[in-house]
Chain A
Amino acid sequence: MQPVATTFFFYLLAGLAILGGVLVITRRNAVHSALALILTLLSLAGLYLMLYAPFVAGVQIILYAGGIMVLFLFVIMLVSIEKSQKQEQFNSIWLVGLLSAVALGGLLVAVFVKGKELFPERMALPPEQSNTQAIGIALYGTYLFAFEMASLLLLVAIIGAVVMAKKRI
């Protein structure tokens, strides 16, 4: 099956993702930032689909946009008081932060310009087999230990979050 209108969809999804990123870091209201981050996450899921990674796209939508962002919105509703919206938006050392980020951006631009021949121009179309099946075989075969460690990490995170948010331990 041949892909259709690749260039248009790439620029549309990339533009939406970067627009969402800019809105996250500039909005005064935290709920607006959370909604912009959801826009970025969904555009990234579309980009993963363009990169022939449907399982990662599904995991991104279900876990990230449907789990983590809901958690963020609940906590915003718990802690955001109107006072924080009327105050200053940027912290006291914002200039140093901005300059460091610009320096990092310059470094990345230098990497892309100098190393342009390292990244191949055309990518081959992957074979038409089930991506989810291959990832399942990899997760339960080669990466079984990391998989079990990830479940242990999630257990520790659950215990930690519950203990931290309790009123009295």
Chain B
Amino acid sequence: MATISTLHYLVVAAALFILGVIGVLTRRNVVIVLMSIELILNAVNLNLVAFSRLWGLQGQVFSIFVITDAAAEAAVGLGILIAFFRNKETVNVDEVDLMKW
């Protein structure tokens, strides 16, 4: 691999995306599920900045908005988690079943 092309960055971003998806779908602890969602968002950011190198500055501006969005979503998600923990004393996704049939 003499030169690092765009495809190298896209492969790294895809690997991080897959790791994030595995974390969201397999883990039992809600906090780790939220952290895997942050992994997914970071993979998308890497994709955006890698393509922004080729096609202009819009990718970097979009990635700044994605980071802002991730901050807002993490704050609200963790607020929900705290409210849930106050009621049920657990951080287990399998026990979030009050609205199941």
Residues of A whose CB lies within 8 Å of any CB of B are 6-7, 10, 14, 17-18, 21-22, 24-25, 27, 30, 33-34, 37, 40-41, 44, 47-48, 50-53, 55-56, 59-60, 63-64, 67-68, 71-72, 75-76, 78-81, 84, 87-94, 96-98, 100-101, 104-105, 108, 112, 116, 119-123, 126, 131, 134-135, 138-139, 143, 146, 150, 153-154, 156-158, 160-165, 167
Contacts and interface: CB of A to CB of B under 8 A. Distances in A.
A158 B50 CA distance: 31
Given A40-B42, A52-B53, A119-B6, A153 B78 contact: no
Question: Dominant SS at the A interface?
Answer: helix
A30 B73 CA distance: 19
24 contacts: A18-B19, A21-B16, A21-B19, A25-B23, A40-B16, A40-B42, A56-B63, A63-B67, A64-B67, A64-B71, A72-B78, A88-B28, A90-B27, A97-B24, A101-B18, A123-B5, A150-B68, A150-B69, A153-B72, A157-B73, A157-B75, A162-B79, A164-B79, A164-B82
Interface string B20-64: 111111111101101110110010011001101110011011011
A154 B29 contact: no
A165 B79 CA distance: 5
Given A88-B28, A97-B25, A157-B76, 17 more contacts: A6-B4, A18-B15, A30-B31, A33-B35, A37-B35, A44-B42, A53-B63, A72-B78, A84-B91, A89-B27, A119-B7, A135-B57, A138-B61, A156-B72, A161-B78, A161-B79, A167-B86
Given A97-B26, A121-B3, A143-B61, A160 B79 contact: yes
Nearest to A13: B12
Interface of B: 1-12, 14-29, 31-32, 34-36, 38-39, 42, 45-46, 49-50, 52-54, 57-58, 60-61, 63-65, 67-76, 78-83, 85-86, 89-94
Rank and list the top 4 A-B pairs by shortest CB-CB distance, nearest first: A97-B25, A164-B79, A157-B72, A25-B23
A87 B91 CA distance: 11
B64 A79 contact: no
A10, A37, A44, A90: most-surrounded residue (chain B CB, <10 A): A44
Contacts of A6: 3-4
